[in-house]
Structure 1
Amino acid sequence: MTDLQKEQIKTLRLQGISYVKIGEMLGISDNTVRSFCRRNGLSDTAKNTVACKQCGKLIKIVPKQKPRKFCSDACRTAWWNSHPDCVDRKAVYAYTCAHCGKPFTAYGNKERKYCSHGCYIADRFGEECGCCD
C-alpha cells in the first residue's frame, strides 16, 4: 500500500465511508483497509470523531452537541485568517467623511463619521490631517 493510498484511506474513513467502499475506490482489498484502519485508530469507534479543519487532529464528537470543527482557538483563528474568502461580511457600510468629504467603507460600525484617525483629529482640533491634499 502506498503513502498516497494511506492518506486517502484516512480521509475517506473520517468522512464515514465503509471499508468495502474505500477498497473498491482504491482498488485494494477491504480486509487490507480494515486492518490499516484498526492499526491506525480509524476503526468503528472512530466514527465518533471528526478531523480539525486546520491541523487534521481528531476531535471527539460529544452526543447531543454541535460537532466542533476545530481542535483549539489557535487552529480556528489560523484557519479563518488563511481563508478570508469564506467570511460572509454583511455589515459593510458606505460613508462620506465628515472632514474631507471622501467616500469610504467601514466594516461593522454604523456610527462611523471619519475615514481616518487623522481626519477625526483635524476636524475636532482644527489641525491638518495629511490625507486631504
Structure 2
Amino acid sequence: MTNGQRQKIKMLRYQGVGYGKIAKATGLSRDSVRNYCIREGLNGYASELVTEYREVMKEEMLFVVCLNCGVKLEQNSIGRKRKYCSLSCKREWEKDHRKPYAHKCEYCGKEFQSLGVIWRKFCSPECYRRDRFWREEDAAEVAQKILQFKKVNHLPKWLRDLLLADTEN
C-alpha cells in the first residue's frame, strides 16, 4: 500500500465512504482497506466518523484533496480554496449529492420536491402551461363554479391573489 493510497483511504473514510467503495477507488481489496482503517482508528459507522472528523479537523486539512476522487489539490495563495480537481469532478460530486427542496405548486397547490433546485414554482410542465397561458375556457369554468358555489380545483396564483386581496380603497 502506497502513501497516496493511505491518504486517499483516510480522506474518503472521513467523507463517509464505505470500505467497498474505497477499495474500488484505490484498487485494493476490501479487507486491506478495512484492516488499515481499524489500525488507524477509522472503523465504525461512517456518519459518526464524519462528525468526529469535522470537529477535530475544522480548518487543518480542509481542501487538501478533491472531494470527489481524492486527488491531491494544489491551492493558490490568493482566491477561493479549491474543493475539486476539475470541473468534471465538481459536476459528478454535485450530481451524487443533491439536496431535496420542498415546494408548493403555484397553480394547483400540490406539495412536491425537487432535487438541487430551490427556485421551482410548478410541480409539472402542465401546471406551468395552464398558469402561463390562461385561456378563456379556464376563466369561464372558474366563473361558472364560483356562481354555483362549487369548489374551484385549480386557480392560478395571480388570480387567487387578485380575488383574495384586501380592498383598502
Q: More helix per residue: 1 or 2?
A: 2
Q: More strand per residue: 1 or 2?
A: 1
Shorter-chain TM-score above 0.5:
no
TM-score (norm 2): 0.35
